[in-house]
Amino acid sequence: MQLLALALYHRDGRTPPRVLRFQPGALNILTGESETGKSEVLTIVDYCLGRRAPNLPDDLIDQTVSWYALLVAFADSSRMVSARPRPTGASTVHAFTSTGDASLDIPQAHELVPNSNVAALRGELSARLGIEDFHFQPPTGAARNPFDVSIAQAALLCFQNQNEIADQTALFHRQTESGMAQTLKDTLPYFLGAAGPEQALRRRRLGEAQRAQRAAQRKLDDALRHQQAMDANGLALVRLAESEGLLADVPATLDLTQVIDLLRQALATAPQTATPLELRDRRQQLNEERRALREQLQEYDDALAAVDRWKQQGLAFTGELHLQLDRLKTLDLLGPERQNDTDVCPLCTQTLERPDPSAQDISELTNHLGRELAQAQTLQPVRDEHRHALQGERDSVTERLRLNGAQIRELLENDERLRNLQEQNLRVAHVQGRIAEALTRTGTDSDLSRLNNELALAQEHVANLEELVAEDDVTAETERSLADIAVGMTAWAKRLKLGGAAEATEAGISLKLLNVVLRRPAGRLPLTRIGSAKNHIGYHLVAHLALHTYLRRNNRPVPGFLMLDQPTQAFFPEKPRDASTIQDADWTTVTAYFQLLNDVVRLNNGALQIIVCDHANLAEAWFQNAVIENWRPDSDGKRHALIPPDWLD
């Protein structure tokens, strides 16, 4: 896979987009002044290939661009457009993809509608690159998760930004980020061809077999441990079951077989049944009857009280009548006075306004009261008889209430027995639970034999897989691949006259350090102990050129391009405005670096594309033929950059 074009789309939908075209299978040089957007090209390409966090600077690009699109070509002449919208936050998962033949080109702005996501985009690119279904499984016990190898890891070998290319502590793109160094160590053997899906599958199966072996060993150890525990605790469980009534007539001495038989017998013994539901219903009936009897008793008490009040009122009434009759009987003592005129006062002989009652009237009243008194006295026996009947009925209710209380007390005693029985059943259930657990964990001789056989089979399976994995010897194959890469590195390091290269027998890549290491008669020399930014950049160049040459010769599934940002930064002052105007720079070495890039591209016969973003602008014809754009002001002062000046108007 190589790059054909990179397009930026204005946020207001202007057409045409800003398109930067690349030459496949060739050296592509993007030169220009500082602050023209050269370094952002690498970042944008990385983003279009599926990186979640774009790490784009918050500058003119973020202010003006809405979409980024990358056109790539594959070895089978097919093409693919991978486009991503400008992220509104730290990242975005939206994407646009389109595939086609050699006629496919950068899409128009109106065509860019999200139709995919980052995962699908990576999957499509990985499949077209030829990355196999390689699921990396970390070694047993490793504190990291398995993952599927994709272009996300392959792209790490294709970029060197301006900070990475001069870093003496790290060799690869994003290596210093958390977890990336281990990812590179895990996947580099696959990309070199030292490991593949078959080896990964065998390693995964070995890990699963080792886990199964450990599980079988644990089961056997647990069975043996529980059998030993049964020897010590089984008799105690038997005695406990006996104390709870689950066993009877237990012998004083028992062997293990007898203990297990007795425990199974105790487990099969059913607990005593609890009080049936009818008793609870009877208790409820008695409570309802008691409430009804209390209500009847209250009614009889009220009726008796009414009869008593009636009697008291009758006695009071008849007593008053007797008193008045006794007073009126004095009229019987009168003689001729009975005939006195009642209209005249007997004392003053004056005529009264209202005449007094006559003796005859008073006598008639007395006779009437006497008749009423006799009639009232005849009601007393009826009243006494009614009260006696009410008292009898009340006594009957009182007796029924007493019997009800006795029955309720009897039920309460039954409840106490029920609670005791429930507590005993709980103890029995606890004992039976302990017995069941002990019997479950305690295996018979046949169980132990079966577990021993399972462990032996697991150990045999692990041994067979270990033998297959040992035959793979991924580490040795990786070292052989790195040794082939070191041949080119050593020759090119000597050609560039890098520090330590003259006396080194080999300049290679250490998979353990993920860095360049020189092998000398005096000992190994890592890049971290070699001074000068010129040497750091030089060794980065020769390492990646040799690595990609190896990848192309062996047709490995890694994109066939290498992007380098500011590979000549060590030869100029910090942030030069235009390196082409600096006279005292080491232009000989700069020329040698670019000449090596050009020669390696030609050596790969179109299989490798190198894209360089740099301040340098050499006059040599081969250099100028490689320049795809020059972002310096032209003769009329018009400025050129990644973002067209008219986009900022």
Task: Report d(CA 527, CA 518) in Å as an integer.
Answer: 8
Residue 119: other Cβ atoms inside 10 A: 14
Give how far Cα 317 sits from Cα of 211, 373, 461, 467, 522, Å. Answer: 110, 9, 119, 127, 144
pLDDT of residue 282: 72
**Among all chains, which residue has been given the structure tokens 């936050």?**
89
| Matching CATH number, 2-197+473-648, of 3.40.50.300, 2.102.10.10, 3.90.1170.50, 2.60.40.420 | 3.40.50.300
Query: Do residues 541 and 593 lie in contact, with contact meaning Cβ atoms separated by under 8 Å?
Result: yes
Which distant-in-sequence residues (6+ apart) come within 8 Å of 449 by Cβ? Answer: none
Domain coordinates of the chain in residue numbers?
2-197+473-648, 201-269+442-461, 277-421
Task: Report d(CA 326, CA 283) in Å as an integer.
Answer: 64
pLDDT of residue 396: 84
Helix, strand, or coil (residue 395): helix
In 3D space, the residue among 79, 34, 72, 85 whose CA is nearest the CA of residue 563 turns out to be 72
Per residue in 101-134, pLDDT (tens digit) is 999 999 999 999 999 999 999 999 999 998 877 7
Element (H, E) at 514: none
In 3D space, the residue among 576, 622, 578 whose CA is nearest the CA of residue 596 turns out to be 622
Mean pLDDT, contiguous 10-residue spans, the chain (649 residues): 96 85 97 89 94 73 87 95 84 90 94 93 93 71 75 96 94 94 92 75 74 86 71 68 74 69 74 56 78 84 77 66 62 52 65 65 65 64 76 83 80 67 72 71 66 86 74 79 96 95 93 95 92 93 97 95 93 65 74 96 97 92 95 84 83
Task: Report d(CA 184, CA 54) in Å as an integer.
Answer: 20
pLDDT of residue 403: 85
pLDDT of residue 153: 94
Print the SS3 string covering 552-621. HHCCCCCCCEEEEECCCHHHCCCCCCCHHHCCCCCHHHHHHHHHHHHHHHHHCCCCCEEEEEECCCCCCH
C-alpha 398 chain-centroid distance: 70
Task: Report d(CA 359, CA 362) in Å as an integer.
Answer: 5
Query: Do residues 107 and 152 lie in contact, with contact meaning Cβ atoms separated by under 8 Å?
Result: no
pLDDT of residue 305: 81
Bridge pairing between strands 515-520 and 523-526: antiparallel
pLDDT of residue 547: 97
